[in-house]
Structure 1
Amino acid sequence: MKVLSIQSAVAYGHVGNSAAVFPLQRIGVEVLPVYTVNFSNHTGYGQWRGPLISPDDVRDVITGIEERGVLPQIDVVLSGYQGGEGIADVVLDAVARVKEANPDAVYACDPVMGNAVSGCFVAPAIPVLLRDRVVPAADIITPNQFELGFLTGTEPADLDSTLEAVDAARAMGPRTVLVTSVERPDRPEGTIEMLAVTDDGAWIAQTPRIPMKANGSGDVTAALFTAHLTRTGDAADALARTTSSVFDLLERTHDSGARELALVESQESYASPRMQFAVTRVR
């Protein structure tokens, strides 16, 4: 499997491609990383150095890949945080070119906007751009519950309303939706869930909630789920593997006391997930 991953990169820490690439490689996926920024560290520190890469330069890198004759071999185009409006055009153009070369390729979009605690942390134009242009072009999207609400103009809370919001999102274009950070009011205290919905059904997985902010964990989640699903076509299995791997990554990070993900130290959790959490069919 080959994945064209168009995301940010940092020298220190793990977000964007600096979070997604290694776990994918560890499960045997060949990744072609294309960077949209090249920062010293993620912006959550409040200070960082390094350049935003212009949309034209990002497009040039993709054109160079195309000139090597690689696009027919690409199985997945993956995108995450979009720092500026111009990157969306580049991503959508890349998706169109890859799908022309390989009609079986899929586009997986993590529509990064914010979360229920922090609210939106992207430029005001980005959520609208994602909703109106990017998400409709995607085959797979991986919003958190907050982002799902913005995309669909709803306030998903319990399972029924979350499933209704997913149906609204799927009506926009993507056939597969993975909802992360699902917090139902009737869930057991101290837990959190992920919900996967495809044409074949809907499945939910519940884990203990780890009390930490983990920049980059969503990037790992989107990458692993997309790769597992594309390989097998089995959403329940992809959800189980991803849930197991990401939980162990977060638990190891929390136990270490480090601010950055214990990405390398957790590599066996990607290659051989423990499959310790049940996946329940809910539709």
Structure 2
Amino acid sequence: MMASPSVRVLSIQSHVVSGYVGNKSACFPLQVLGFEVDTINSVQFSNHTGYKCFKGQVLDDTQLGDLIDGLHANGLDCYSHLLTGYIGSRSFLHKIQTVVKHLKSVNPGLIYVCDPVMGDNGKMYVPEELLPVYREHIVPLADIITPNQFEAELLSGQKISNEEDAGKVMEWFHGRGVKTVVLSSTDLGPQGVLVAMASSVVNGRRTRLNVHIPQLPVNFTGTGDLFAALLLAWSHHTNSDLKKAVENTVDTMQAILHRTLDQARADAGVEEGGELALTRHQLELKLVQSLDDIRSPKPRIQATLIE
């Protein structure tokens, strides 16, 4: 699957030297699917923060501005897509607002995909002061947004207890101008099943769906970053067909996660059920090994359209 030569993504999120989160998780799949990808690293760490320690640097808003200014001075700031993920400071997030507006002035057709990385499972892992910036300034600029359930609840101020609640939350995003909303994971399914929900309003046509995803017995890191990148790619390749884009995204995710878990078990010498013995290093996403699945995902999961 190849994108047109004019398709170019600027991805602004975290970077790790070892492992796969942030730009390391997003860049390779986008390139495999034919996109030119430029990256700005909001942080540069030795490894993700789930390890016993990490070292590195944090980019500030002035440095972000310098990079954008350099691109602009050389006529290198015309992008078809902008993707943002983990951002750790309020000033940097405010600068993202300026960057989005600038890039949309250069290319009014630019599609901004926002993954509002703030937390999961009821816990924020960024400063709380980022929440109003996302809600008031970033969300209205996004064309596609991919929060998990917790992040969607934070942004909308509404609790999601059932699918009706999820629909109201997605409408909240639409009301602020977001064309496509994908709740990448919710706990609305039966035990052992995650439910992703999505809604789009494109050219006056409304589509809403859900998809049931088997939950694996371990926690991976970098999956949200991978999800957002794949959704960007498949939204483009399917001409904004929400059902096909979500199905291809989830199918790819399932292939990668199953391969990662199978390889981790093999490396650790444990059988199914021995997941407690697996290390964070063993559970790093097996992206390179999943090249063929990224390029041509095999049908595994079927999304259900909701009337």
How much has 1:107 moved relative to structure 2?
A: 1.1
- The residue identity in structure 2 corresponding to 1:240 is E
How much has 1:46 moved relative to structure 2?
A: 4.1
Q: Which moved more, 1:270-279 or 1:251-260?
A: 251-260
1:212 matched residue in structure 2: 218
The question of 1:265 aligning with 2:289 is answered yes
How much has 1:58 moved relative to structure 2?
A: 1.7
1:237 matched residue in structure 2: 244
Describe the superposition over 1:17-41 as per-residue Cα deviations: whole angstroms up to 9, x where unpaired: 1110001101111101111111101
2:306 matched residue in structure 1: 282
- Partner of 1:198, secondary structure, is strand
The question of 1:52 aligning with 2:58 is answered yes
How much has 1:222 moved relative to structure 2?
A: 0.5
Please give the alpha-carbon distance, in whole angstroms, between the structure 2 residues aligned to 1:212 and 1:170: 33
Please give the alpha-carbon distance, in whole angstroms, between the structure 1 residues aligned to 2:129 and 2:176: 19
How much has 1:279 moved relative to structure 2?
A: 1.3
The question of 1:194 aligning with 2:196 is answered yes
2:139 matched residue in structure 1: 135
Describe the superposition over 1:249-268 as per-residue Cα deviations: whole angstroms up to 9, x where unpaired: 11111122222111211122
Please give the alpha-carbon distance, in whole angstroms, between the structure 2 residues aligned to 1:44 and 1:173: 35
**Contact persistence 1:192–1:208 (CA under 8 A):** yes
How much has 1:90 moved relative to structure 2?
A: 2.3
- The residue identity in structure 2 corresponding to 1:39 is F
How much has 1:128 moved relative to structure 2?
A: 2.4
1:76 matched residue in structure 2: 81
Specify every segment of 5 or more residues in structure 2 that has no aligned partner in the other structure, as ranges. 1-6, 265-281
**Contact persistence 1:35–1:58 (CA under 8 A):** no
**Contact persistence 2:68–2:77 (CA under 8 A):** no
Specify every segment of 5 or more residues in structure 1 that has no aligned partner in the other structure, as ranges. none
Q: Which moved more, 1:169-178 or 1:211-220?
A: 169-178
TM-score by length of 1: 0.94
1:109 matched residue in structure 2: 114
2:123 corresponds, among 116, 119, 125, to 119
Please give the alpha-carbon distance, in whole angstroms, between the structure 2 residues aligned to 1:202 and 1:140: 14
Considering only CA atoms, is the larger Rg found in Structure 1 or Structure 2?
2
- Partner of 2:260, secondary structure, is helix
The question of 1:164 aligning with 2:163 is answered no
- The residue identity in structure 1 corresponding to 2:164 is D
**Contact persistence 2:248–2:299 (CA under 8 A):** yes
1:250 matched residue in structure 2: 257
How much has 1:159 moved relative to structure 2?
A: 1.1
1:8 matched residue in structure 2: 14
TM-score by length of 2: 0.87
Please give the alpha-carbon distance, in whole angstroms, between the structure 2 residues aligned to 1:82 and 1:6: 8
**Contact persistence 2:94–2:133 (CA under 8 A):** no
Please give the alpha-carbon distance, in whole angstroms, between the structure 1 residues aligned to 2:73 and 2:198: 36
- Partner of 2:67, secondary structure, is helix
Give RMSD over aligned pairs.
Answer: 1.4
**Contact persistence 1:107–1:140 (CA under 8 A):** yes
**Contact persistence 1:34–1:62 (CA under 8 A):** no
- Partner of 1:163, secondary structure, is helix
1:64 matched residue in structure 2: 70
Q: Which moved more, 1:159-168 or 1:249-258?
A: 249-258
The question of 1:34 aligning with 2:40 is answered yes
Q: Which moved more, 1:98-107 or 1:40-49?
A: 40-49
2:209 corresponds, among 203, 214, 218, to 203
How much has 1:245 moved relative to structure 2?
A: 0.5
How much has 1:193 moved relative to structure 2?
A: 1.9
- The residue identity in structure 2 corresponding to 1:20 is A
- Partner of 1:210, secondary structure, is coil
